[in-house]
Amino acid sequence: MKLSHRLDKLPPYLFVEINRKIAEKQARGENIISFAIGDPDIPTPEYIIERLCQAAHEPVNHRYPETAGLPELCQAIARWYHKRFDIALDPTKEVLPLIGSKEGIGHISFCLIDPGDIALVPDPGYPVYSMSTLLAGGEPYFMPLTEKNDFLPDLKAIPEKITKKAKLLWLNYPNNPTGAVTNLDFFQKAVSFAKKHNLAICHDAPYTEVAFDGYQPPSLLQVSEAREVGIEFHSLSKTYNMTGWRIGMAVGNAQMIDALFRFKSNLDSGIPQAIQQAAIKALNGPQDSIVEHNAIYQRRRDKLVKALNNIGLRARLPKASFYIWARIPDGYTSVEFTAELLDKANVAVTPGVGYGNGGEGYVRLSLTLPDERLDEGISRLLQWHRDKGNKLT
């Protein structure tokens, strides 16, 4: 059977490969501590689960869901954005619930990119930005995110021949994989850049509620002119530990939201209504769990960053997200270093190059594993370091 040539453009999806290698070792009876995948270990708050169970018994929720989502959910999203960011959204035109934000991130390229068009993509960055561009027939232009520039793209350094063909600018703060953050001044510059070059902006913002030390990440849409050029993707996955529920949203520019709705309505379906009802409860209900969960992540962050620096990796304390972006020792590629930790210590981390060539020299570690597993992982890393004849720094 001859498959579509589109698939030839795609490398193996990073996380699938990592899971395959871990599964092979586990099948041999080995106990793997995985810092590799950013999937919260903390349960979804009980009041959200209770609403799901209740809604599952309501016959109205057994029917096909509307693509546009329940009006009550769109209203809840708009209220949440107003309360959190002081942004007034029209729930009928500027809000679209999604089957997880990844769905919208993957689909928006088909709404904005024609064959031969360019998307400006962060490097390192979430692989779906570039993969969806390729599937839509476009070409990703990789914007380096360097430690020297606080992992922000240098928009002024993008050549004119690129901006002339570019249709879309991807941003992601708090950032995956680097954990970097930004401010409204940068977002204002990005909006001005987009208006100057007639670009759309898509801001992927699922980590705004995972923040530490009193920091509150901003929204792109807090910039007054942002809705003229952009939308923001958000998710309940990280905010309420609902990764398996698959529910997120796109908000912002009405034309882009309508385009995404039209594409979505012809390709997939809506979110199961019982899950939508639970999401309404999450957004309208008490938000205490966010503070509690962030305290757990912050404690884990402090412990893991200290250990990594003790064994010769260089890691900053991130202000947000549940990722640690660590510089690896000289003499390794990120894939080689990842393989050594998996082989010698039964510890899984993510190679930085999996997020683009700009990630070479780094690995990403997630804070989403129970405390006892995190402590065991740290113990194994320290022992691996000692076994190599090194002293702790």
The structure tokens listed for 120 are 């400006």
- Mean pLDDT for 269-281 is 98
Q: Give the pLDDT of residue 390.
A: 77
Q: Give the pLDDT of residue 14.
A: 64
3-state secondary structure of 180: coil
The pLDDT tens digits of the residues spanning 9-18 come to: 887 766 677 7
Residue type, 121: V
Q: CA angle at residue 246 from 64 to 259, to 5 degrees?
A: 70
Q: Give the pLDDT of residue 35.
A: 97
Q: For 181-301, list the strands marked E by DSSP.
A: 200-204, 230-235, 248-252
Contacts of 93 (CB under 8 A, 6+ apart): 254, 257, 258
The pLDDT tens digits of the residues spanning 168-190 come to: 999 999 999 999 999 999 999 99
Domain ranges of the chain: 5-44+288-387, 46-284
Phi, psi of 83 (to 5 degrees): -70, -40
The correct CATH number of 5-44+288-387 out of 2.60.40.1930, 3.40.50.2000, 3.90.1150.10, 3.30.920.30 is 3.90.1150.10
Q: Give the pLDDT of residue 13.
A: 66
3-state secondary structure of 200: strand
Neighbours of 42 (CB within 10 A): 14
The pLDDT tens digits of the residues spanning 28-82 come to: 999 999 999 899 999 999 999 999 999 999 999 999 999 999 999 999 999 999 9
Question: How many CA within 13 A on the CB side of residue 215?
Answer: 21
- The class level of CATH for 46-284 reads alpha beta
Q: Give the pLDDT of residue 7.
A: 86
The pLDDT tens digits of the residues spanning 284-328 come to: 999 999 999 999 999 999 999 999 999 999 999 999 999 999 999
Question: How many CA within 13 A on the CB side of residue 57?
Answer: 4
**Are 200 and 169 in contact, with CB atoms under 8 Å apart?**
yes
pTM reported for the whole predicted model: 0.96
Of 80-94, 157-171, 378-392, the one with minimum mean pLDDT is: 378-392
d(CA 51, CA 274): 8
Neighbours of 258 (CB within 10 A): 14
Neighbours of 92 (CB within 10 A): 12
Question: How many CA within 13 A on the CB side of residue 266?
Answer: 8
Q: Give the pLDDT of residue 75.
A: 99
**Bond from prior residue into 174 cis (ω within 30 degrees of 0):** yes
Is the model's pLDDT at 385 over the cut of 70? yes
Beta strands 166-171 and 200-204 are parallel
The structure tokens listed for 236 are 């309940």
The neighbouring-strand residues paired with 232 are 203, 251
- What percentage of residues in the chain have a pLDDT greater than 90? 92
